């Protein structure tokens, strides 16, 4: 294989990888449950129109979800539990950013959905 053929093959491979990343769907572009605060977490599901937040620490601090939808509105869910338990909320607009918040402790790491 000559230098030109090798360079062409490399360019084709790089272009192919770049295109596959560029056309990934939003559901493929992130992990579903990446927003965490301690052991508590929030999940956004395929379609990005539902969120679950879970309180898995038995510390008496309730959790809630914070999320931003495609139409630019910011939302806080209701507080969930203070022991084990999960809350769920569906939306009419795609969730693009989310976090889980713990009462008295603030919000944990946030994720782009």
Residue 23 domain boundaries: 1-28
Residues 85-111 pLDDT 10s: 788 889 989 999 999 999 888 888 777
Please check whether residues 23 and 76 belong to one and the same domain. no
Q: Where are the beta strands (DSSP E) in 1-113?
A: 35-37, 40-44, 50-55, 63-69, 74-76, 85-90, 95-102, 106-107, 111-112
Q: What is the pLDDT of residues 3-31, one digit of tens each?
A: 445 434 434 443 343 333 333 333 333 44
Do 7 and 59 reside in the same domain of the chain? Answer: no
Q: What is the dihedral of CA 71, 73, 78, 81, to 10 degrees?
A: 80
3-state secondary structure of 75: strand
Residues 41, 17 within the same domain = no
30-80: pLDDT as tens digits: 447 889 998 999 999 878 999 989 988 888 888 889 999 999 888 988 787
In this structure, the answer to whether residues 49 and 101 fall within a common structural domain is yes
Domain count, the chain: 2
């Amino acid at each position: 294989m000559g230098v030109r053929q090798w360079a062409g093959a490399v360019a084709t491979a790089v272009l192919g990888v770049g295109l596959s990343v560029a056309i990934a769907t939003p559901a493929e572009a992130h992990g579903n449950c990446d927003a965490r605060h301690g052991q508590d977490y929030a999940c956004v599901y395929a379609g990005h129109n539902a969120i679950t937040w879970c309180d898995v620490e038995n510390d008496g601090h309730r959790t809630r979800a914070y999320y931003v939808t495609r139409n630019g509105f910011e939302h806080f869910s209701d507080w969930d539990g203070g022991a084990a338990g999960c809350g769920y909320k569906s939306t009419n607009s795609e969730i693009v950013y989310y976090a889980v918040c713990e009462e008295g402790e603030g919000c944990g790491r946030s994720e782009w959905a």
